[in-house]
Structure 1
């Protein structure tokens, strides 16, 4: 009878094998993913707000998702909580937050005036965002790229594409403009297509990841500047987003020139 029952050693070994799949996960790995999921919720909420007609709040939700997207990676690096799972989750959330949600908000707000043409522009925007994120994931595994290229994005990054692509809405609500006429909606659709092209292209853009520490002697000026920027965004949100968008568009030629200079200097 004793041969029919497993001994205590085999029972202990089987229990250990079962427990391996339920190992506790450190909080430093969970926190960045929680931030990413909150950003994902904001993207979904932007779609709901657009359906309900609250376009300004939908834009605010997308802008909030962009802020959280900039934080989750920094939190992961600071806590040494980076993981392949987190990178994949972040990419999927970015596609919804900065591809699907902005395209839907743009179509509901303005582009629906030109019907199918506006819908094509929205579709191209979402597809370009997906292509941009897929290429970014592939380039992460490239060990041969020089270190200086980490200061640049290849193609407009997805969060920037979403913020810049929503410029027609900022102009409309920030300056109390009426609903666009069909001719204006065609121009807006062409603008959205141009931003989609920048996302899918290989045009270099400056990367905020290269921003380092603030010198101690400039700390007070930096804090005052940040406080002033936050106040402007709070009091004049749409006008501030117009200024941010235009400043970003102006920086693109400088990024191209700097990228070419560094590329020529690389052996």
Structure 2
């Protein structure tokens, strides 16, 4: 090398390697909520095995709530991503399928042995199938008009709330007999069937308007419901579950009036 040959200064960026792209904090918020939901669901399972059932149910319900709002938060913050969709699907199967099934099994279904375990398996698998069908229908290009008004089968979040009814009743002193365990087993299988059925279930997604003069009474009713839920948790949850089950026939009747059948028959609905 000649003495007068210029020496180029080292490239600092090249020395440091490829530069990582920074991610805005708002994109992380929905994923953090999803992770918290998974933690709550798994913690509920642990608490159930420790026979701390009230806390276990509370954690499962908290997981279902967090899992239900993460998508809405993502849309509100314009932070949706393919990664978030995959995380949400993972959280759904844990919080709406596995966690409720295991808590229910430890609380009451284990009294009838293998039959109770089979019922828990059926519900968990049904929840997974329900979520897979929902994802497929949500991703397809063609969407039928009825999809803005009805679900195909009971949605997985409501399935998690419904299947826990034997636990609510157990907290109210109704779960000591073996007959109750057999009834809970049959009920668990029934809820699993409702998840994968083609029963039209009103979704509440369609635009529903409230008259201006009824706005304050509606708000008061909501406040009253929350207050009762905080004061009489298990009674309110049991009544809410039974009320939802009573609405299902009315939903099918509304579908029949509009479309002429009792069940959804749509070639695009897949499984």
TM-score, normalising length: structure 2 = 0.85
Alignment of 1:118-129 (within 5 A): 118-129=116-127
Match of 1:108 in 2: 106
Match of 1:46 in 2: 44
Select the residue among 224, 245, 258 that pairs with 2:220.
224
Cα 1:12–1:144 shift into 2, 3 Å: farther
Select the residue among 237, 242, 245 that pairs with 1:241.
237
1:202 aligns with 2:202: no
Deviation at 1:83, TM superposition (A): 2.0
Deviation at 1:239, TM superposition (A): 0.5
Cα 1:12–1:152 shift into 2, 3 Å: farther
Match of 2:161 in 1: 163
**Mean CA deviation greater in 118-127 or 216-225:** 216-225
Looking at structure 2, the residues matched to 63 and 53 of structure 1 have their Cα atoms a distance apart, in angstroms, of 17
Q: Secondary structure of the residue that 2:228 maps to in structure 1? A: helix
Number of residue pairs aligned between Structure 1 and Structure 2 = 257
Q: Is the Cα–Cα contact under 8 Å of residues 201 and 252 in structure 2 kept in the other structure?
A: yes
Gapped regions of structure 1 (runs ≥ 5):
none
Looking at structure 2, the residues matched to 158 and 58 of structure 1 have their Cα atoms a distance apart, in angstroms, of 19
Q: Secondary structure of the residue that 2:141 maps to in structure 1? A: coil
Greater gyration radius: 2
TM-score, normalising length: structure 1 = 0.86
Match of 1:18 in 2: 18
Cα 1:15–1:198 shift into 2, 3 Å: farther
Root-mean-square deviation (CA), in Å? 2.7
**Mean CA deviation greater in 143-152 or 162-171:** 143-152
Looking at structure 1, the residues matched to 81 and 259 of structure 2 have their Cα atoms a distance apart, in angstroms, of 30
Looking at structure 2, the residues matched to 129 and 73 of structure 1 have their Cα atoms a distance apart, in angstroms, of 19
Cα 1:23–1:218 shift into 2, 3 Å: farther
Q: Deviations over 1:183-241 (max 9, x none)?
A: 32112101100100111222221224336675554332232122111111111111111
Deviation at 1:80, TM superposition (A): 1.9
1:257 aligns with 2:236: no
Q: Is the Cα–Cα contact under 8 Å of residues 110 and 180 in structure 1 kept in the other structure?
A: no
Looking at structure 2, the residues matched to 216 and 70 of structure 1 have their Cα atoms a distance apart, in angstroms, of 28
Deviation at 1:28, TM superposition (A): 2.9
Looking at structure 2, the residues matched to 44 and 218 of structure 1 have their Cα atoms a distance apart, in angstroms, of 41
Looking at structure 2, the residues matched to 15 and 248 of structure 1 have their Cα atoms a distance apart, in angstroms, of 63
Q: Is the Cα–Cα contact under 8 Å of residues 166 and 175 in structure 2 kept in the other structure?
A: no
Q: Secondary structure of the residue that 1:171 maps to in structure 2? A: helix
Q: Is the Cα–Cα contact under 8 Å of residues 33 and 89 in structure 1 kept in the other structure?
A: yes
Looking at structure 1, the residues matched to 83 and 40 of structure 2 have their Cα atoms a distance apart, in angstroms, of 20
Q: Secondary structure of the residue that 2:205 maps to in structure 1? A: helix
Q: Secondary structure of the residue that 2:142 maps to in structure 1? A: coil
Looking at structure 2, the residues matched to 151 and 222 of structure 1 have their Cα atoms a distance apart, in angstroms, of 22
Match of 1:177 in 2: 174
